[in-house]
Amino acid sequence: MLEHSDHKTDSAFQISQACRHLLAQLNHSFHAGFGLLRRGSDNWKIIPVDVHGNISGSSSQLEPETANWLDQIDWSDLELPQIRPLGDQQAFVAACCLDDNGNLEMVGGRIVLNALELAASTAKLTVKQVQVSDQQLLIDQYAEKLSASYEELTYLRRLSKHVEYCVANRTLSEVAQTILPKLQDLLEVQALCLVEVQVDETSGLQSLGRISGCTGGLPSDLDYWCPLLDGLDSRNPQVKVRNFESPLHIADLPKRLGIRSIAIAPIHKNGSLYGWLLAANKRNDVRVTNDPRRPLMNSLGHDELGSMEASLLEATALMLGSQASNNQLYHELEQFIVEVIHTLVGVVEAKDAYTCGHSQRVALVARRLAEIMQLPANQCENIFLAGLLHDVGKIGVSDDVLLKPGQLSDAEFEQIKLHPVIGAELIKKLKPLAKLLPGVMHHHESMDGSGYPHGLKGEEIPMMARVLAVADAWDAMTSDRPYRPGMPIEKALSILKGGSGRQWDSQVLQAFFENVPAMQDVAEYWRTHLSGICSIPSSRPEKIPVQSFDLTPPIISTATANAI
């Protein structure tokens, strides 16, 4: 039960917009004078209100029976009006609403129970409810379209950010796998996949390659999709969309396809075709409303692919085309850099044929050592490339000094000590090789600061250079030269052990000593598979089993490795 009391004058009442609207609707429906209901100190009264919501006259007291009836009403359900028959085909109607502050407002009035008027009012109300329902349906549909457009814009924005930040060395399939799941949800398709093109390196002819990212209940083998790609002229640069009246069947396939709709977007850039994006079968299990009057809809129909799907597929294909082109350029540049490196190494080895193969062996050993030390993969590859180029500065050393078979004089050794600086000066002019400078410049530095060219010590020496220093010394000591045979393994290991912490990094040496057989395997691999490019003796020291090495400097060994 609610009790109402108000001690204000009638003119002081403030009528809310909701109350004005309710009064207008009741007056229009019943052609009667409805007003505000207020509970005074001793009785209920009704205050007349005009169409503008203003007090239009003096209030009047309600008869005691109606007042008592109002006192008994439970207004917990605001949507249900209350009706009290008064006799003589009359009734009192009371209704309520909430004002702007959430307080209860009540309105009421006396109506005449005329059957014809009631029928007319009921008919008008029914028609209006249908109109409101239809309008609500249109509002919901517009809201869905707005929501779908927002999702599309969000996806395209993320797609543009992906293009901006995507690393060029990521492959087409790697990038596709990160964006296709979201695109499949947005398109609401059963299957979405990337079909890549493979190019024959000899003939240059293109053919279908692998399929990646295929989802849904459809197969992911090429035999399934090839006829569809051929049948829809998939090599045309335009997006193709086909909707079939009945599921598509192709007789020469072992299984029926059951394709109802399909869209194909070519992935191309600057005249090069990299593959296709293929979407199949609009899903029919997605409904955002339970209204039976509303079928599942997209840009064309309940189970068809249309312009919206084609546009999103095309935008994604354009992004993938740019990524594929960047990836191709990246690998071409990478291949060019490798060729430049091998050319520079070839120039050095052409000048000093006696050391042919040294750079390759140092590179292989250094990379294997870096991998054992669990350095990052990109750092391992950079160490390998720096190993290939670590002696490139010998191009600037006099042949008389470089090719001298005997002991070098102090002046000659000063010339040799210039080759790291000369090498660094050469490669720093090639921007892609700048990351190799620490290894080329500092692979002859010593942990105690006695090395060259800058006398760095300890942690001042880059890790790349510390790894290369061990690999370089190992190969210099154990490889054969025309003027002397390679040093026995035991002696080379003893020298390395003696220089631990003084000439070479003890951490690097620890990894080396724990994997000496692996280091020998690298040299053996070079001798077996790569040594044909050089004319060098074929004999190598026998591999010996190595137990473990204590890095404590030996007492009697004072020999050092002068790897030049």
Mean pLDDT of the chain: 75
The CATH fold of domain 17-129: Beta-Lactamase (3.30.450)
* Average pLDDT estimate for 333-337: 81
Quick check: 70 and 94 in contact, CB under 8 A?
Answer: yes
> What is the rounded CA–CA span in Å between residue 196 and residue 179?
16
Q: For 434-454, how does the pLDDT look when each residue is reduced to its tens digit (9 = 90+)?
A: 899 999 999 999 999 999 999
Percentage of the chain exceeding pLDDT 90: 17
- Residue 499 confidence class, pLDDT cut points 50, 70, 90: very high
User: Does 532 have pLDDT greater than 60?
Assistant: no
* Average pLDDT estimate for 167-183: 75
Quick check: 61 and 35 in contact, CB under 8 A?
Answer: no
> What is the rounded CA–CA span in Å between residue 36 and residue 95?
10
- Residue 297 confidence class, pLDDT cut points 50, 70, 90: very low
User: Does 509 have pLDDT greater than 60?
Assistant: yes
Domain range list for the chain: 17-129, 166-283+303-324, 352-533
For CA atoms 554, 557, 563, 564, the dihedral sign is positive
- Residue 508 confidence class, pLDDT cut points 50, 70, 90: very high
Q: For 110-129, how does the pLDDT look when each residue is reduced to its tens digit (9 = 90+)?
A: 888 777 777 777 777 777 77
Range with top average pLDDT, 12-26, 100-114, 378-392: 378-392
Percentage of the chain exceeding pLDDT 70: 70
Strands (E), 516-560: none
Q: For 236-285, how does the pLDDT look when each residue is reduced to its tens digit (9 = 90+)?
A: 667 777 777 655 544 433 344 567 788 888 888 887 888 888 888 877 65
Backbone angles phi, psi at 480, to 5 degrees: -80, 150
**CATH of region 166-283+303-324, choose from 3.30.479.10, 3.30.450.40, 3.40.630.10, 3.40.190.10:** 3.30.450.40
Quick check: 474 and 488 in contact, CB under 8 A?
Answer: no
Per-residue model confidence (pLDDT) at position 550: 41
Is 352-533 a CATH 1.10.3210.10 domain?
Answer: yes
From the CB of residue 258, how many other CB atoms can be counted at a distance below 10 Å? Answer: 14
Q: For 390-445, how does the pLDDT look when each residue is reduced to its tens digit (9 = 90+)?
A: 988 888 888 888 877 778 888 888 888 999 999 999 888 888 888 999 999 999 99
DSSP string, 262-287: EEEEEEEETTEEEEEEEEEEE-S---
Per-residue model confidence (pLDDT) at position 267: 85
> What is the rounded CA–CA span in Å between residue 481 and residue 469?
19
Q: Which of 287-301, 345-359, 549-563 shows the lowest per-residue confidence on average (mean pLDDT)?
A: 549-563
pTM over 0.85: no
Quick check: 481 and 562 in contact, CB under 8 A?
Answer: no
* Average pLDDT estimate for 468-496: 87
Domains 17-129 and 352-533 are alike in CATH topology:
no
User: Does 78 have pLDDT greater than 80?
Assistant: no
Strands (E), 311-455: none
